[in-house]
Amino acid sequence: MAKLRTRNEKLEARALKLDGELTDLRGNQENFAAQAKDLREMHEALEKAKKDLED
């Protein structure tokens, strides 16, 4: 029974660690999405500015 308890504790600790990593990855994904949106907007503004300078 002690072996099962120890194994259960290890699995719970691993699950907690993986949950934390998942939370971090979700945060990274949100940051990446926001940065990609900003980059697209900047690229569009740059293209518009280039076009305006040509005219």
Q: What pLDDT sits at residue 55?
A: 80
User: Can you tell me the distance from the alpha carbon of 42 to that of 39, in angstroms, rounded to the nearest whole number?
Assistant: 5
Please state the separation of Cα 27 from the chain's center in Å: 4
Q: What pLDDT sits at residue 11?
A: 97
User: Can you tell me the distance from the alpha carbon of 10 to that of 18, in angstroms, rounded to the nearest whole number?
Assistant: 12
Q: What pLDDT sits at residue 12?
A: 97
| Number of separate domains in the chain | 1
Place of tokens 């999405």: 33
Domain of residue 4, residue span: 1-55
**pLDDT for 11-25, tens place per residue?**
999 999 999 999 999
- State the sign of the Cα–Cα–Cα–Cα dihedral 46, 47, 51, 54: positive
Q: What pLDDT sits at residue 36?
A: 98
pLDDT beneath 70: ranges in the chain: none
Q: What pLDDT sits at residue 29?
A: 97
pTM check: above 0.75: no
